[in-house]
Amino acid sequence: MMGRRAQRPGLARPATRRRWLPRLAHLLLVVPLLAGAFGVPQVAKGDYLSDALAQQKALSARIAAERAQMSRLSTMQSNLSAEIASTRNDLNTISASLGDLQNRVAKLGAAVAVVQANYAITVASLTELNNQLAAIEHAEQQKSVELQQRKDLLASRVRAAYQVDQTPLLETILSAQSFADVVSDVSDYLEMGQEDQALAAQIVHDQQVLATLQQQTTTTRDATDQARLEIAAQKQQLDLEVANLNQVQARLKALQAATAKALAAQQAAQGELARSKTALAAALAENGKAQAALKEQVDKLVAAEFANGNIPSVYNGTLQWPMGGVISQPFGCTGVPQEPPLGSCAHFHQAIDIVAPYGTPVRAAGAGTVVFVGYNPYDAPPQAWIIIIAHSQNLQTWYAHMQPDAPSGIYRGAVVSAGQVIGYEGSTGHSTGAHLDWRVELNGSFMDPRLFV
């Protein structure tokens, strides 16, 4: 039995109708579909787009972590710079003991190592960002190619819909031999329409994924560019701090060598003096007599200054070390034979001797009024250059063996502030080497200076 198309040969449809009818009908419906697809965002499927959005969230966290690491590194650099500057100042002025300075320099070396490790972490983090940027750019390029291919495919199918034969659509429909033929044509159209709808939806999805990737690319590129500039600045600062640390270490080494030389000279002189019993006995007698006579004079000067209202009755505060260096002889019983006896001690040192390179600045241990400056008039030649500061009626500090060169503004009656330079380390008087003899007198008696700092 022949099919329905053969039953009505007079009304047979052109053989090409099945080819162009679905295409034209498809065109009429796909155009609104495309207008809606490109004009109104569609809800994308949770595959590539979800992955891209998750990657974007992870990327934001990575960038935030990079910025936090950069902030930590910057803070560490700032603290390191300040500490190196402070240590360098203390080394240049020798305002701290060499032992303390050595510990500080060692800690600075450890701090620099920590900063270098954090810098390496920051650089590694930037490398990861660069790798992510490369991966995103590659994914963006691939997705862009896929999107263009799908657009080209859909465009070719739309253009094909225009390539209809000359038979009018209405004539074709009217020439159908039965409603079943029309339904068959519509069925063909519906099958093609579903394919093209899926293609259009995929294009919309691809556009959303591509837009997300493009945003990631821009964000990551901006972050890496900024991080690269900041890391370069951090590297420059770190190199500067390493150079500064090297200078500080060299300065410390030079101070230690100079101090060791001064200590050796002092010990040699003490040994020479100890071997000469006659000279030692004379030195003990002269030192004790000169010190007692000067103390009596100073007590009178302090009383006069107090009576004139130039010094307070009580000193409020603590004292500070007048000079850094190495303590060559502490306060109290000592084995140094040229120190006079006191109490149960055969030899007692009533001061702290501090050794540093010759010419180291000596600073006021506290605010007060200068009551004596000059050579000790009671010393047998050579005389010691001494400065004495009254901090209150009952508290004075003594600075002996200094160079005979008082800085500007240092004279009897001058008011000085804590830390002000009052002279320079020397070796005047019966000194066995360059050092500062620092004493603290409280209520007429010399006390251990360590009790006041």
Sign for the pseudo-dihedral over CA of 367, 373, 378, 380: positive
How far apart are alpha carbons 177 and 72 in whole angstroms?
A: 83
Nearest to residue 437, comparing CAs of 391, 396, 394, 386? 386
Q: Judge whether residue 43 has pLDDT over 80.
A: no
pTM equals 0.66
For 406, other C-beta atoms within 10 Å of its C-beta total 18
CATH number for 277-452: choose from 3.40.50.10860, 2.70.70.10, 3.20.190.10, 2.160.10.10.
Answer: 2.70.70.10
Q: What is the mean pLDDT of the chain?
A: 80
- Taking residues 331-352, what's their average pLDDT? 83
How far apart are alpha carbons 119 and 124 in whole angstroms?
A: 9
Beta-bridged to residue 395, according to DSSP, are 392, 442
Give the residue extent of every domain in the chain.
7-260, 277-452
- Taking residues 1-19, what's their average pLDDT? 40
With b for 16 or more beta-carbon neighbours within 10 A and e for fewer, the 423-447 pattern comes to: bbbbbbbbbbbbbbbbbbbbeeebe
- Taking residues 409-418, what's their average pLDDT? 95
Q: What percent of the chain has pLDDT over 70?
A: 77
Q: Judge whether residue 192 has pLDDT over 60.
A: no
Phi, psi of 141 (to 5 degrees): -65, -45
Q: What are 90-130's pLDDT values in tens digits?
A: 888 887 888 889 999 999 999 999 999 999 999 998 898 88
DSSP H or E stretch at residue 369: strand 368-375
Q: Judge whether residue 167 has pLDDT over 50.
A: no
Residue 298 · residue 373 · CB < 8 Å: no
- Taking residues 241-256, what's their average pLDDT? 92
Q: How confident is the model at residue 139, as a pLDDT?
A: 85
C-alpha angle 335-336-342 in degrees, rounded to nearest 5: 75
Q: Judge whether residue 172 has pLDDT over 60.
A: no
- Taking residues 372-390, what's their average pLDDT? 90
DSSP H or E stretch at residue 326: strand 326-329
3-class secondary-structure state, position 409 = coil
Q: How confident is the model at residue 15, as a pLDDT?
A: 42
Greatest extent of the chain over all pairs of C-alpha atoms, in Å = 155
Q: What are 66-80's pLDDT values in tens digits?
A: 889 889 999 999 999
How far apart are alpha carbons 338 and 41 in whole angstroms?
A: 99
Task: Tell me, letter by letter, the H, E, C secondary structure of 117-131.
Answer: HHHHHHHHHHHHHHH
Q: How confident is the model at residue 248 (pLDDT cuts 50, 70, 90)?
A: very high
For 16, other C-beta atoms within 10 Å of its C-beta total 13
Q: How confident is the model at residue 286, as a pLDDT?
A: 64
How far apart are alpha carbons 391 and 352 in whole angstroms?
A: 19
Q: How confident is the model at residue 158 (pLDDT cuts 50, 70, 90)?
A: low
How far apart are alpha carbons 89 and 73 in whole angstroms?
A: 24
- Taking residues 398-427, what's their average pLDDT? 95
Where is average pLDDT lowest: 27-41, 121-135, 142-156? 27-41
How far apart are alpha carbons 375 and 190 in whole angstroms?
A: 118
Where is average pLDDT lowest: 14-18, 71-75, 161-165, 416-420? 14-18
Q: How confident is the model at residue 188, as a pLDDT?
A: 52
Phi, psi of 380 (to 5 degrees): -75, 145
Q: Judge whether residue 240 has pLDDT over 60.
A: yes
How far apart are alpha carbons 61 and 51 in whole angstroms?
A: 15
Q: What are 277-308's pLDDT values in tens digits?
A: 666 566 655 666 777 888 888 889 899 889 88
Q: For residue 193, give Cα distances in angstroms to 28, 146, 151.
A: 11, 21, 16
Q: How confident is the model at residue 390, as a pLDDT?
A: 96
- For residue 444, give both structure tokens: 């007429």
Residue 338 · residue 273 · CB < 8 Å: yes
- For residue 226, give both structure tokens: 């900024």
DSSP H or E stretch at residue 355: strand 352-355
Residues 6+ apart with CB under 8 A from 63: 129, 219, 220, 223
Where is average pLDDT lowest: 41-50, 201-210, 429-438, 441-450? 41-50
Nearest to residue 419, comparing CAs of 317, 351, 326? 317
Where is average pLDDT lowest: 3-17, 330-344, 376-390, 429-443? 3-17
Q: How confident is the model at residue 179, as a pLDDT?
A: 54
